[in-house]
Amino acid sequence: MKKVIAITGCPTGIAHTFMAESALKKAAKKAGVEIKVETNGAAGVKNQIEGSDLEDIYGVIIAADKDVSPDRFNGLPVLEVPVKDGVRKADELIKKVMDGEAPIRGGAQSKSVATHSTNESFSRQIYKHLMSGVSHMLPFVVAGGVLIAFSFLWGIYSSDPESEQYNEIAAMLMTIGQQAFSIMVPIFAAFIASSIGGKPAMVAGFVGGLLANVTGAGFLGGIIAGFASGYLIYFLVKKLEFMPKQYEGLKSIFLLPIVGTLVIGVLMVNLGVPIAAINNGMMEFLSGLQDANPVMLGIIIGMMCAFDFGGPVNKAAYVTGTLLLAEGNMYFMAGVSAACITPPLVVAIATTIFKRAFDEEERTAGAICYILGATHITEGAIPFVAKAPHHVIPIMMFASSISAVLSFLFAVQVPAPHGGFLILPVVSEPIVWVACILVGSLAGAVLYGLYRVMQMKKLTVQAS
C-alpha cells in the first residue's frame, strides 16, 4: 500500500515543526493514506526517514524553513514548501502528492555537498540557509544569555574582582555565559555555510565567523562569512567533480578545508574593519531609535512580530533583538519578547472572557495558549488566526504593539532571547514587564472577542 513521506522543520524547532507534523498526520488520516513524518526539532531529528521508507510511496512533502538534507530525495516526487504551509495547507499538500502533482526533484544524490532545489526560488533558498544558521545558534544565545543574567543576581558588578559586590559563583556564571556567547557568530556562520555547501564548508564558515568576532564585524560579518564559505565550497565541489572517486577523502578532508579557510580568511581579514563600521552603525541607529522614539519602534516591532507568527517577518525582528542582545542591549529584546508572547495570550484571554463566542474545541485550545504564550511560543495563535487572517492579524498586531511600546517606555531589560515568563527571575522589572504584556493582551482579547461575537450574531441572522 502506497504511503506519503513528510519532513517538517522550523528555525527554532519548537512549535511550527510539530504543528505541521500534527496537521499532516490529520490530513493523511482524513485522506485514508499512511504517512511517516520526520521532525527536525530543537531536540534533533526524530522518526528519521530510512531508505526502506522510500519504497512504494506517492511522494515526499518537505515543509521546512531550514536545511533538512533534501538531497536524500532527489529523483523522487517532492513538494517543497514553507513550514507554515504544512500547518495551514496540509489537506492540499496531501492531495497534490496523491494526485501525482509533485515535481521530480532533480540532481544526483550527494553526501559531500548540499544541493539546491530547482523547485525553490533563490530568495527562499537564502532564507532557509540563514535560518539554518539561526536555529543552530539559538541554543548558545539562550544558554549564554540566561547564565550571564543569573550572574547579575549577586549585583551588576558581582563578576568584577575589583568590585565590593564580587562573588565567585557570579564570576563563574559570567565566564561560562560569555564563552557561550562568544561562540555564537562562528556557529551561525558555520551552519549557514554547511546548509549551502555541506560539511566541507563548515570549517571555512567557522573560521570566518571567528575572524568576524576578532575584527568586530559581528553578525553582519558572520552572515557574509557563512554565505561566502558555502557558495565557495559549492563552486569548488562542482569544479572538482572530474577527480577520481579514490581522491574523494583527500578532497573533502584536505583540499576543500584548506582552500576554503584560506580564501575566506583573507576575505574576512580585509573586509572586517569596514563591515565592523557598518555593523556598529546599524546597532547605534537601532539603539538611538529605541531612545529617541520608543513608541514608533514599539509599533514597528509589534507589527512585525504579529504579522506572520514565527515566519520570516517575525524572525527578522527576533534575530535583530538577538543581535542587539549579543552587543549588550537588553532593552530591545524586552519589546520583541513582549510582542511575541502577546498573540497566544490574546487568544487565551478572549476564549476565557467571551466563552460563548467559541466552541468547546476552541476553548480547550485557548486554555493551552496560556501555556504557549507564557513560554514565548507565538505560533500558538496560528489555528485561530488561520480562520480569518485578514480580520485577526490586525488585531494581533495592535495588541503586540501595545505590549512592545510599554516595554520600551518602562525601559525593561530582558537578558535572554527566549523562555517567556520562565526567565522572569532575570528580567530587570519582572512585574512591570508582565503588566505591559497583559495590558496589550487584554486590549487585543477584547477586540478579538467582540469580533467573534459579531461573527456569531451574523451567522445566527443568516441561519434564520
Which H or E run includes 368?
helix 360-374
Integer distance in angstroms from the first to the last C-alpha of the chain? 47
Using the 8-state DSSP alphabet, how is residue 103 labeled? P
Beta bridge pairs of residue 35? 4
Nearest to 63 by CA among 29, 108, 28: 28
d(CA 345, CA 352) in angstroms, rounded, equals: 10
- 329 near 283, Cβ under 8 Å? yes
d(CA 96, CA 33) in angstroms, rounded, equals: 13
Burial 248-266 (b: 16+ CB within 10 A, else e): eeebbeeebbebbbebbbe
Burial 148-180 (b: 16+ CB within 10 A, else e): bbbbbebeeebbeeeeeeebeebbebbebbeeb
d(CA 378, CA 371) in angstroms, rounded, equals: 11
Selecting among 10, 340, 369, 436, the annotated active-site residue is 10
Which H or E run includes 189?
helix 184-197
305 among known catalytic residues: no
Beta bridge pairs of residue 38? 7
- Sign, Cα dihedral of 225, 226, 232, 237: positive
- 358 near 366, Cβ under 8 Å? yes
Instruction: Specify whether the backbone of 109 is left (phi greater than 0), alpha (psi in -120 to 50) or beta.
Output: beta
d(CA 343, CA 398) in angstroms, rounded, equals: 10
Which H or E run includes 412?
none
- 415 near 146, Cβ under 8 Å? yes
Nearest to 60 by CA among 70, 45, 47: 70
- 412 near 334, Cβ under 8 Å? yes
d(CA 382, CA 379) in angstroms, rounded, equals: 5
Active-site residue list? 10
